């Protein structure tokens, strides 16, 4: 059972950013988190940041160009070929074990299970 925690805030350190997340850390109990700015693009920003947690880089960083640009390129919807390749790489490197754990009942999950998750903007 994996929990990725997201915090929604009105102001983040750099106003041009829609959010922050740790790259390739979806199974790291300390860094499987992110921050998304609260506003009109909250859902897009959250999906984008979860993409980072899942090992995805920005489309432009992987030379993924139009028309193959998705959420990680700041345009379009869905995942580009580059994003799918990034996630497949993450799944093949051993950084994904938590994704295959059977879910536990919701009544066994408490807010205390989120304690210890740390977001340090300087490390992003």
**Which residues fall in the annotated binding site for Zn(2+)?**
48, 52, 58
- Cis, peptide link before residue 54, omega less than 30° from 0: no
Which token pair is 89? 């790489």
Residue 49 is among the residues annotated as catalytic for this protein: yes
Cα torsion 79, 82, 84, 89 to 10°: value is -150
Which positions make up the binding site? Answer: 48, 52, 58
As a residue count, the chain comes to 124
Catalytic: which of 18, 25, 26, 49? 49
User: Hunting for tokens 């919807």 — which residue is that?
Assistant: 77
What amino acid positions are annotated as catalytic residues? 49
């Amino acid at each position: 059972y994996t929990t990725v925690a997201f915090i929604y805030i009105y102001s983040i350190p750099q106003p041009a950013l829609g959010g922050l997340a740790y790259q390739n850390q979806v199974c790291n109990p300390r860094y499987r988190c992110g921050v998304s700015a609260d506003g009109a693009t909250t859902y897009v920003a959250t999906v984008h940041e979860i993409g980072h947690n899942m090992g995805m880089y920005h489309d432009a960083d992987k030379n993924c160009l139009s028309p193959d640009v998705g959420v990680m390129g700041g345009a379009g919807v869905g995942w580009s070929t580059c994003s799918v390749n990034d996630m497949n790489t993450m799944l093949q490197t051993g950084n994904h074990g938590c994704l295959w754990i059977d879910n536990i009942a919701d009544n066994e999950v408490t807010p205390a299970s989120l304690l210890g998750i740390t977001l340090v903007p300087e490390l992003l």
